[in-house]
């Protein structure tokens, strides 16, 4: 295993280990998280999929390990907002030169909802949109073309616009065991030894030793 390479599959230029393509300090991606794009260059994820992420806000995109992100998924950040407490939604602070405003107040043009946090082993479906400030728990699934406007609990499947809970992936007992085990933090060789049980859903047979 080598989570540092860009293309994990021989001959496949549509799929990348995302961490190896990231250059910006406010984007943090865990090992083995993959992104597939059959429309655009997947190595351009920062440019094409992370929207309105301006350094002036200091907000972060944090994605855990072993996530699967499908083609066209978007992460919409704070600067895509307009200030809802203003009497006008027009972003006057952006055009500070025209209106005699202080350039240091440019962030007053929008409401800052904070970081986007994606847990481990999350599957984000085709063209899904994750809005600013959203937290998605470990093991969650985001359905195709969903628009996620609320936090998603661990191991929960959501879908629709706005995204709503469809069901839990497993029983509460199994979810509790998986959250306690945190297999995604195991060393590569331990994960490999447990692959059969991970893939077959044998949670009671998983072991980190």
Sheet holding 116-118, edge to edge: 27-29, 61-63, 116-118, 135-136
Whole-model pTM: value is 0.94
Active site (annotated) includes residue 82: yes
Cβ within 8 Å of residue 185, ≥6 positions away: 65, 120
Q: Domain spanning 15-81+114-169: which CATH class is it, in words?
A: mainly beta
DSSP H or E stretch at residue 124: strand 123-124
Supply the pLDDT for residue 158: 98
Kindly report whether the peptide bond that precedes residue 52 is cis, defined as omega within 30 degrees of 0.
no
Q: How confident is the model at residue 209 (pLDDT cuts 50, 70, 90)?
A: low
pLDDT tens digits for 124-145? Answer: 999 999 999 999 999 999 999 9
**Catalytic position from the list 60, 82, 145, 177:** 82
Mean pLDDT for the stretch of residues 79-103: 90
CA–CA distance, 88 with 84 (Å, rounded to integer): 8
3-state secondary structure of 57: helix
Supply the pLDDT for residue 208: 65
Domain parsing of the chain, residue ranges: 15-81+114-169, 171-209
pLDDT tens digits for 27-78? Answer: 999 999 999 999 999 999 999 999 999 888 889 999 999 999 999 999 999 8
Work out whether strand 116-118 and strand 147-148 pair parallel, antiparallel, or are unpaired.
unpaired
């Amino acid at each position: 295993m080598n989570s540092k390479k860009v293309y994990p599959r021989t001959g496949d230029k549509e799929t990348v280990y995302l961490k190896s393509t990231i250059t910006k300090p406010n984007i943090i991606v865990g090992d083995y998280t993959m992104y597939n794009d059959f429309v655009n260059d997947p190595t351009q994820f920062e440019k094409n999929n992370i929207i309105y992420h301006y350094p002036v806000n200091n907000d972060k995109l944090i994605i855990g390990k072993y996530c699967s992100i499908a083609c066209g998924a978007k992460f919409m950040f704070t600067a895509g907002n307009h200030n809802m407490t203003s009497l006008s939604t027009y972003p006057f602070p952006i055009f500070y030169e025209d209106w005699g405003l202080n350039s240091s107040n440019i962030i007053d043009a929008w409401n800052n909802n904070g970081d986007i946090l994606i847990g481990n082993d999350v599957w984000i479906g085709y063209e899904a949109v994750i809005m600013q400030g959203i937290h998605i728990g470990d093991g969650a699934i985001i359905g195709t073309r969903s628009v996620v406007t609320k936090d998603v609990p661990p191991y929960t499947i959501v879908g629709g616009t706005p995204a709503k809970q469809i069901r839990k992936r497993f029983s509460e007992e199994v979810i509790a065991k998986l959250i306690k085990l945190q297999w995604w933090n195991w060393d590569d060789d331990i994960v490999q030894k447990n692959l059969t049980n991970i893939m077959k859903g044998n949670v009671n047979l998983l072991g980190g030793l």
